[in-house]
Amino acid sequence: MKTFTDNQGRRVTLVSSYVENTEHVLIIPKFNGQFLLTSHKQRGLEFPGGKVEPGESLVEGAQRELYEETGGLVGNLHFVGTYTVHDGDSTFSKAAFCCNIERLDQLKHYYETDGPMLVDHIDDIKEDEKSELLKDDCIIFLYNEVRENGCQ
């Protein structure tokens, strides 16, 4: 287990296994050698993800969120780990996945985002364009793991 502190001072733990009752997903996708981000209308650039809908598995939710926010289609997602934010007596967990995008469709709308953006490295993005999630130490750790080790 790895431990981090988020930008709100909360303890964040990362484990390499699934955590029971996880209802959110984060995807670190690559397309043609670049990282695929989404431009959230309020938060800025970030990796796609969100809440899993009732009846969906974590993988199904990740595939849906990825497509809705970027138009990215993937055959296989690879589980990276689960990070949990500890906020007093409550916790919030997200299953993190990585993938290589097979196809990037242009959609008429991207829900709460302005659609996809490709970058070689997140350090190439101006700080004021990044969402707080893209500045989070745990998410940066996950990104670096995928960047350095590939998506296996």
Strand segments, DSSP code E, in the chain are 2-5, 11-15, 24-31, 34-40, 44-46, 49-51, 72-73, 78-87, 90-100, 103-104, 113-119
One pLDDT digit (tens) per residue for the chain, 152 residues: 999 999 999 999 999 999 999 999 999 999 999 999 999 888 999 999 999 999 999 999 999 999 999 999 997 899 999 999 999 899 999 999 999 999 999 888 887 888 899 999 999 999 999 999 999 999 999 999 999 998 86
Q: With 0-12 CB in 10 A as exposed, 13-18 as middle and 19+ as buried, what is 147?
A: middle
Domains and CATH numbers, the chain: 2-149 (3.90.79.10)
Q: Is the pTM of this model over 0.85?
A: yes
